[in-house]
Structure 1
Amino acid sequence: MTDAPTLHFGVFEVAAPQVGGTFSWAHPRSRSADFLDPQHWIHIARVLEDSGFDFLFFAGGYGYPLVDGDLPEIAATKGINFSAIDPDYLIPVLAQHTDTLGFVVTLSTGLEHPAQLARRLASLDHLTSGRVGWNIVTGASQNAVADVFGQDAIVPHDTRYAMAAEYVELAARLWEHGWDDDARVVDRESGVYARRDGVRPVVFEGEHYRSRGYFGAPPSPQRTPVLFQAGTSPAGRAFAARNSECVFVQATTPARTAAAVADIRALAAERGRDPRGMKLMAGLTVFVGETEEEARRYEAEFDAMQTDEIVASLYAGNTGIDLLALDPDKTLHQVLGQGSVGEMGTSNIDRFLGENAPTVREILDQLKGRGTRGFRLVGDGTQVADGIERLAAETDLDGFLIEPVFEPADLEDFGRLVMPILRERGRLREGAPGNTLRARLTEQPGNDRLGDAHPVLAAD
């Protein structure tokens, strides 16, 4: 046993051929191309719950890679961030086959009115008995999304975050202020369903969103789903410090990640929040085997499947920049100030700038096999567990999102070879049926609500 803090674990998934903008679905170990089959996800959810994971996280969106305004051939032929379904509809199915596992869904703040999203998430929180989180995004592959939704131009980066702040505030006020706790009576003898004086209108007048009316969805176990957010641009960090309960920090090097973690915690403290109350996590790709040799073989087989074209397709979808069209011996500074560069994927651009900026060739080499993935660990169960504890100590992270490579086999391997070691070392806290996702992540049974002291509900 150890006095070291509990670590939290999720699994980063997409309802698509593969994770992370890398190519792996065609490998004999992988079954990720079965993403259209509910049984594929039921199996994964059961594996995660039995292993002690906190939640299954679904990324999602309407975007896809664009190069010169068109879908790259390799995005379609290899399934690189293209072809997907909405994961929202899987969650009620998976909840019926699990008791403790949480579910986090990614929904954008810019494509529908907050009231629509609020009712959808309230419904999911009811159907899962309070095991839902919302990953708040301002969009991804915004150039493609603008085309799909018939928009004339990409909304500027910082404007999207300003809109998102209002969006989240309005949604939270609908969840938290629309009903008194005891307003829903359901008294058959008197025939009273709800106390009229316990249901009140929510009036919100913002620069980007407004609402005046009643929220029809009864309060769910958490009322507000656990608020997740990813993004380490300056605007993203400020947004996270104000709104998020769980933040996904971009994993580059341990030192840079530690700096981002410290900055977000400091910004949260400036907002009057407990900086240790937020859970900060990063992505982690793991190749684990019965032996280190087996794990290295899995890693080598995965790496051999990756190409420059795959990297470039992914990076274009994230940032709007076609790396293969640039001078390979120059840095990304060659495209700054051109068109919409800098209005999407800013974190993935900024990381390659500065005095010691890598060349485009070096960027391609760095991202090959990594894509949008985070840290990487390779070894047997003990080596991986040691690496996880070392990364947590070096970065001050509270946990990790495992990014599958050959699912579900590698998730089964992680659950069988790594999680028992972490559990023996006292780094895992088991969930219990009836606990909400918020109670599990905060490690406080009964702590189900966001709370009026949260900045999103407290008047500035």
Structure 2
Amino acid sequence: MHTAAPEPTDAAPKTLHFGVFEVTAPQVGGTYSWPHPRSSSIDFLDPQHWIRIARVLEDTGFDFLFFADGYGYPMIDGDVDPVAVEKGINFSGVDPAFVIPILAQHTDTLGFVVTQSTGLDHPAQMARRFSTLDHLTGGRIGWNIVTGASQNAVADLFGHTEMVAHDTRYAMAAEYVELACRFWEQAWDDDARVADRESGLYARRDGIHRIVYDGEHYRSRGYFGAPPSPQRTPVLFQAGTSPAGRAFAANHAECVFVQATTPARTGAAVADIRRLAAEAGRDPQALKLMAGLTVFVADTEEQARAYEAEFDAMQTDEIVASLYAGNTGIDLLALDPDRTLHQVLDAGGPIGQMGTSNIDRFLGDDAPTVREILDQLRGRGTRGFRIVGDAAQVADQIESLIADTDLDGFLIEPVFPPSDLEDFGRLVMPILRERGRLRDSEAGSTLRARITERPGNDRLGAGHPVLVRDRVAP
């Protein structure tokens, strides 16, 4: 029997939520691990690789499998970074949305979250795709809302003459989400689709409504053809810790992926997002805030630390710099290693349009040197917190992070998938369940019901801020 970690108060322990952060690409997190014998992530083109992972997650109690996605890639001096190509650092990948229907056929309760940028197509196109996925999964789909990544590469790929300014992307995203939610929530009455064979009536005309939207960036005056799905609106996820990102999350997201730097900084970001949500008239505790977590766990602490050491030995400065350039547009290896990132500002560099959260964290009065940034990010990339140990040690550290940050859970960022996911599910999840950290039973059949822990809570809700804007005609 495992020894329960002491609770800080007599209150019931917070129920935690767990997802897995993945990509349909060689490896996760901008780090280098696919050649390791424990990893089969290089098999990302094989559906059986994903079926194995999905079954592990469902069997051990995870809430969802989260797919990051994007069209960008690391660039150096206006061209693709050779290191990114040679090592598979955020380069090469396929569309994860097409994998999800396959996995839905092999699972019953596991949710699926997929990333879709708000700036590359019209909300009507995206809304129909997610309605389709929600139908095919039986209401188990979530949308990770991003305003873009690797914007320099995306601008080149799509033939744009310049990158869209950071804050403008968030203004566009607000309209994009609002219009998409109008399609999902207001285009069809609940009883509009009849599908009656005897009468031959498919749908009631008076139950189908034209969506009229007149925004600065997006407009529509039409009918949404996709019938309402079990959730109608997918669960709204959002990742972004910049000031604009926090404000967007507070007004739009149901689940927020918070950048994990230090417990103190992450806790401050969590508190700020909850404060902003309250100011927007939302219940701040209703938002589920999660962070990335890399876990090295084994039957013994010694073996876990051996796995960590093997992973760390594979990382180099070149890998760190490739990932950072793809996220921020800044080539760390081209800078003076003994000076801070302020040297880029002083030279009028690209700071402000890409990866602002990953830049701002290294500015300020206590800014580290470029050499220190390289050392700090080696083996971390875009990963969040890192914990190492045997099962009980890892469970203790998870609970400690929750106490220090007020997070609601974590997205496990695998290093050697699916081996380390199987280890986490086999070793750590049972301890967390013993300690009352995981729900005792299924909260419902949809992803929203599971995330909110409220059976039957399948819909976004008419009071959500995206449905009360004034850019829509009555």
Whether these two folds match at TM > 0.5 is: yes
Q: Which residue of 1 aligns with 2:192?
A: 183
Q: Are 1:64 and 2:73 counterparts? A: yes
Q: Which residue of 1 aligns with 2:60?
A: 51
Shift of 1:74: 1.1
Summarize deviations over 1:243-276 as a string: whole Å, max 9, x none: 0000010000000000000000000000000000
Cα distance in 2 for partners of 1:343, 1:28 equals 38
Shift of 1:341: 2.3
Aligned mate of 1:401, from 395, 398, 411:
411
Q: Are 1:163 and 2:179 counterparts? A: no
Shift of 1:458: 1.2
RMSD: 1.0
Cα distance in 2 for partners of 1:246, 1:78 equals 32
CA contact 1:99–1:433 (8 Å) conserved in 2: no
| TM-score with structure 2 setting the length | 0.96
Structure 2 gaps, min length 5: none
* Aligned partner letter, 2:317: D
Shift of 1:303: 0.2
CA contact 2:241–2:259 (8 Å) conserved in 1: yes
Aligned mate of 1:312, from 304, 321, 335:
321
Shift of 1:433: 9.0
Q: Equivalent residues in 2 for 1:200-239 (5 A)?
A: 200-239=209-248
Cα distance in 1 for partners of 2:42, 2:156 equals 27
| TM-score with structure 1 setting the length | 0.99
- Name the CA shift for 1:312/1:345 in 2 (closer, same or farther; >3 Å): same
Q: Which residue of 1 aligns with 2:391?
A: 381
Shift of 1:434: 5.7
CA contact 1:52–1:430 (8 Å) conserved in 2: no
Aligned mate of 2:295, from 286, 291, 301:
286
- Name the CA shift for 1:185/1:433 in 2 (closer, same or farther; >3 Å): farther
Cα distance in 1 for partners of 2:424, 2:225 equals 42
Aligned mate of 1:366, from 362, 376, 395:
376
Q: Which residue of 2 aligns with 1:15?
A: 24
SS of the residue 1:285 aligns to: strand
* Aligned partner letter, 1:210: R
* Aligned partner letter, 1:372: T
Shift of 1:459: 2.7
CA contact 2:27–2:42 (8 Å) conserved in 1: yes
Q: Are 1:245 and 2:216 counterparts? A: no
Q: Equivalent residues in 2 for 1:377-456 (5 A)?
A: 377-429=387-439, 432=442, 435-456=445-466
* Aligned partner letter, 2:295: V
Aligned mate of 2:282, from 242, 262, 273:
273
Cα distance in 1 for partners of 2:374, 2:76 equals 16
Segments of 4+ in structure 1 off by > 6 A? none
SS of the residue 2:84 aligns to: helix
Cα distance in 2 for partners of 1:73, 1:207 equals 39
Summarize deviations over 1:212-265 as a string: whole Å, max 9, x none: 100000000000000000000000000000000000100000000000000000
Structure 1 gaps, min length 5: none
CA contact 2:256–2:290 (8 Å) conserved in 1: yes
SS of the residue 1:336 aligns to: helix
Q: Are 1:32 and 2:44 counterparts? A: no
SS of the residue 2:174 aligns to: helix
CA contact 2:443–2:453 (8 Å) conserved in 1: no
CA contact 1:242–1:456 (8 Å) conserved in 2: yes
Aligned mate of 2:91, from 82, 90, 98:
82
Shift of 1:339: 4.3
Summarize deviations over 1:335-369 as a string: whole Å, max 9, x none: 12624322010000000000000000000000000
Identity across aligned pairs (percent)?
A: 79
Shift of 1:71: 1.2
* Aligned partner letter, 2:188: W
CA contact 1:129–1:434 (8 Å) conserved in 2: no
Shift of 1:30: 0.4
Cα distance in 2 for partners of 1:200, 1:402 equals 41
Q: Are 1:346 and 2:356 counterparts? A: yes
Cα distance in 2 for partners of 1:137, 1:60 equals 9
Aligned mate of 1:303, from 312, 316, 332:
312
Cα distance in 2 for partners of 1:247, 1:236 equals 10
Cα distance in 2 for partners of 1:453, 1:432 equals 26
